[in-house]
Amino acid sequence: MITELTEQRFAEFKRMVESKGGSGRWLVMTHDNPDPDAIAAAGVLSKILRVAFHRRVTTAYGGLIGRAENKQMVRVLGIRLSHRRHLVWKNYRHFALVDTQPRTGNNQLDPAITPDAVFDHHPIRRSTKGVPFIDIRPDYGATATILVEYLLASGIEVSRRNATALIYALRSETQDFGREFAGPDRKIYDELLPTVDKRALARIQNAPLPATYFRDLHQALENLESVGKLIVSNLGVLEQPDIVPEIADLLLRMEKKTWSLASGVFNGRVYLSIRTSNSRADAGKVMRNLVGKKGKGGGHGMTAGGWVDLEGSGVEGAAALQHQLAARLAKRLKLNPAKLAPLDLKQLQSSS
């Protein structure tokens, strides 16, 4: 299950870690509002540093773990994560980023700090090229696959908990292998699936949903707009931003739609998620162009996320900005933004 590339990269990583000596604690950090891939990958990297190299490690994140399934994943599998607000930065001498890259605006690592290592499956950013150790594989479906290969290369057993976390991460990240995965993702998945804790996996996938989830879902469906192949939903103020990509995934399942955009307001920002069924698209580039210099964005070919600062605008200003961003996306897709109009689900039902 270990590729030749991973054997080579792991040897390089080992040399880099050992060159720094045994003193000094490591900080392994995910992107803000971490998803299952980031959570699983960070946990595996921390295990490698702790068990294979006998280093002291803290695994941390910024933002919120808001989605019910993600909370359940951390709780059921006993994954140890610290929030950024609890960190004492002077305690750390070595840093690694997982499923994110330096100075991209979606992690809480101080921009003045150059991490020692970056592991990711998103396209490489310019700010990453000065990092001492990099393993970035945009052709992989999940960062966790890369780190599980490292775990195997280190000779450490993949525990039942590691396997369960990886299987859920891959299912979530690739939509059950319906989008953007590579041969190593599938190979690791097939090999580890028999070893998972099936009861724990079921509890994660069927996590109890709070009432606010259904409120946000109702809001999303009440605010649908469409033009041609694009479906859009502008949510209002949210208690947590993880619902935005979840809604974008759901909207893409609407028949005859090949692009979806969901947005919502949280903590002074408009959060955005783009999804497309076009495997030749570059949703990450589309998102970066969409948010421009007022925000940050990125992603893969078929999925992307980003945010734009509201800069003190109120609820009305946020709604106007969301509409502008949707119109901008429509124009980029060569659709007429003037025809972006509300979609009445009741009317659709009566005419079907």
Tokens, residue 291: 């948010």
How many folded domains does the chain comprise?
2
- pLDDT at position 182 is 85
For residue 349, is it within any domain?
A: no
Same domain, 199 and 239: no
Same domain, 201 and 239: no
SS3 211: helix
For residue 15, is it within any domain?
A: yes
Q: Is the pTM of this model over 0.85?
A: yes
What average pLDDT does this structure show over 175-200?
Answer: 91
Same domain, 301 and 252: yes
Q: Which of 169, 190, 205 is the last residue of a domain?
A: 205
What average pLDDT does this structure show over 263-276?
Answer: 94
Angle at Cα 330 formed by Cα 329 and Cα 334, nearest 5°? 115
* Tens-place pLDDT, residues 282-341: 898 999 999 988 889 888 888 999 999 987 777 678 889 999 999 999 999 999 999 999
For residue 351, is it within any domain?
A: no
Same domain, 97 and 178: yes
For residue 352, is it within any domain?
A: no
Domain that holds residue 16: 4-205
Pair 221, 213: CB distance under 8 Å: no
Around Cβ 137, how many Cβ atoms within 10 Å? 22
Share of the chain above pLDDT 90, in %: 80
C-alpha span between 198 and 183 (Å, rounded)? 24
C-alpha span between 221 and 314 (Å, rounded)? 23
Same domain, 194 and 316: no
Residue 246 has pLDDT above 90, yes or no: yes
Same domain, 195 and 271: no
Same domain, 111 and 185: yes
CATH number (domain holding residue 239)? 3.10.310.40
* Tens-place pLDDT, residues 44-78: 999 999 999 999 999 999 999 989 999 999 999 99
Residue 352 has pLDDT above 60, yes or no: no
CATH number (domain holding residue 104)? 3.90.1640.10
Q: Which of 139, 172, 205 is the last residue of a domain?
A: 205
Pairing of strands 269-276, 303-309: antiparallel
C-alpha span between 135 and 113 (Å, rounded)? 18
- The candidate with the shortest Cα–Cα distance to 327, out of 197, 232, 223, is 232
The burial of 346, by beta-carbon neighbours within 10 Å (0-12 exposed, 13-18 middle, 19 or more buried), is given as exposed
Residues 6+ apart with CB under 8 A from 345: 221, 224
Same domain, 120 and 99: yes
Rg (CA), the chain: 20
Same domain, 187 and 230: no
Pairing of strands 303-309, 92-98: unpaired
SS3 222: helix
C-alpha span between 108 and 125 (Å, rounded)? 17
Same domain, 215 and 253: yes
Confidence of residue 349 (pLDDT cuts 50, 70, 90): low
The strand pairing partners of 260, in sequence order, are 231, 275
- The candidate with the shortest Cα–Cα distance to 262, out of 270, 254, 202, 31, is 270
For residue 99, is it within any domain?
A: yes
- pLDDT at position 186 is 94
Same domain, 176 and 29: yes
Cα dihedral 248→249→250→252 (10° resolution): 80
Q: Which of 205, 227, 251 is the last residue of a domain?
A: 205
Pair 315, 238: CB distance under 8 Å: no
For residue 273, is it within any domain?
A: yes
Instruction: Give the residue carrying structure tokens 């951390």.
Output: 74
Q: How far is CA 38 from the centre of its chain?
A: 7
- pLDDT at position 218 is 93
Helix axes 68-77 and 36-47, enclosed angle (nearest 10): 20
C-alpha span between 105 and 309 (Å, rounded)? 11
SS3 98: strand
* Tens-place pLDDT, residues 119-162: 999 989 989 989 999 999 999 999 999 999 999 999 999 999 99
- pLDDT at position 350 is 53
Angle at Cα 165 formed by Cα 300 and Cα 44, nearest 5°? 85
For residue 257, is it within any domain?
A: yes
Same domain, 194 and 218: no
For residue 143, is it within any domain?
A: yes
- pLDDT at position 213 is 92
